[in-house]
Structure 1
Amino acid sequence: MAKETKVILTTSVADLGHSGDVIEVKSGFARNYLIPQGLAFAWSKGAAGQIETMQRARRAQALATREDAVAAKNAIEGTVVEIPAKVSESGKLFGSISNEVIAAALKPQATVQAKSIHVDAIKTTGDFSATVALHPEISANFTVKVIAE
């Protein structure tokens, strides 16, 4: 039995590749995970047309998301997002400000994923610089201002 199998990815899979890529993986990984989950299908000589179609669709989607990312960057760049929070008498927060809260506060400017926001831990009131990755090549900087409720 072959130890490695060629498969064609139907969607992007972290650490493996993108839609339309032909990769070699362990036979068990392909048979037990990638193919049953619909993430890939077995490679064959006749699949060359499908590969080109998937790669063309991926390039078109990347171009569209890049244009959206540029528009979102223009809306977010340099803005100040105010977040009210409960604070103690010493000025420390009860808890901290999560990325989900920051993403919700950014909603009027642009919709972003919470996991793409990078900011140091916020546990006091004040101004904090933050960065959001909108596309692998595009990111926007903004300020998070935490005020007492």
Structure 2
Amino acid sequence: MAKLSKVILTTTVGDLGHSGDVIEVKPGYARNYLIPKGLAFTWTKGAASQIESMRRARRAKLMATREDAVAAKGAIEGTVVELKAKVSESGKLFGSISVEAIAQALSSKAPVEARSIKVDPIKTPGEFPATVALHPEISAAFTVKVTGEK
């Protein structure tokens, strides 16, 4: 079994954790991806004060954005986002609808990040349920309506 390396995350990384979390990953993943991209740094005994200051900053940011997330949820919850796309004669889309396009359409209601939108792949016209994570504790459900144009 490979030995694991301890690293401290500097930003939120997918399913690994949040800023200030100490995680154990495979050495190659830490050395080749997390550390060069600035997403983490190696764990040392003297890093405890850095970890605590990062956690305090993350908590302060979350408290400030919670009110914004509640307001954004009120604007997004239950809305229908309409997008147009080219359709073939068989009724399928040329390509698919990206989460970036959905985020851009939602930006008129509230600013959202594309990576926080969860929706099944959209390859045909119709209505599709979607959710957006506005805060770790707050998410909003909405509908994506895709209409075809020739």
- Taking structure 2 as the reference length, what is the TM-score of the superposition? 0.71
State the Cα distance separating 1:82 from its structure 2 match. Answer: 0.9
Q: Which of 105-114 and 91-100 deviates more? A: 91-100
Contact 1:22 1:43 survives alignment (8 Å): no
Deviation at 1:19, TM superposition (A): 3.7
Partner of 1:133: 133
For 1:125 and 1:9, the matched residues in 2 are separated by 40
1:40 corresponding residue in structure 2: 41
State how far apart, in whole Å, the 2-side matches of 1:54 and 1:23 are.
Answer: 14
Contact (CA 8 Å) 1:88, 1:94: kept in 2 or not? yes
User: How much has 1:119 moved relative to structure 2?
Assistant: 1.7
> Is the partner of 2:143 in helix, strand or coil?
strand
Q: Following the alignment from structure 2 to structure 1, what is the Cα–Cα distance between the partners of residues 53 and 108?
A: 36
Change (3 A) 1:60 1:148: same
Runs of at least 5 residues in structure 1 that lack an aligned partner in the other structure? none
CA displacement 1:9-47 (0-9 Å, x = unmatched): 544455665444456778x67x956777653365345x5
Preserved CA contact (<8 Å) 2:119 2:129: yes
Match of 1:104, SS state, is helix
CA 1:44–1:88: 2 relative to 1, 3 Å: closer
CA contact 2:81–2:143 (8 Å) conserved in 1: yes
Distance between the aligned counterparts of 1:35 and 1:96, measured in 2?
34
Cα RMSD of the aligned pairs, angstroms, is: 3.2
1:70 matched to 2:70? The reply is: yes
Counterpart of 1:144 in 2: which secondary structure?
strand
Alpha-carbon separation, structure 2, partners of 1:14 and 1:130: 19
Q: CA deviation at 1:141?
A: 0.7
Q: 1:91 to 1:59 in 2, by over 3 A?
A: same
Instruction: Report what 2:81 is aligned to.
Output: 81
Sequence identity (%)? 70
> What TM-score, normalized to structure 1?
0.71
Instruction: Give the equivalent residue in structure 1 for 2:60.
Output: 60
The answer (yes or no) to whether the contact 1:75–1:109 under 8 Å persists in 2 is yes
Matches within 5 A, 1:1-149: 9-12=9-12, 17-21=17-21, 32=31, 39-40=40-41, 43-44=44-45, 49-149=49-149
Amino acid at match of 1:72: A
Give structure 2 stretches of 5+ with no counterpart: none
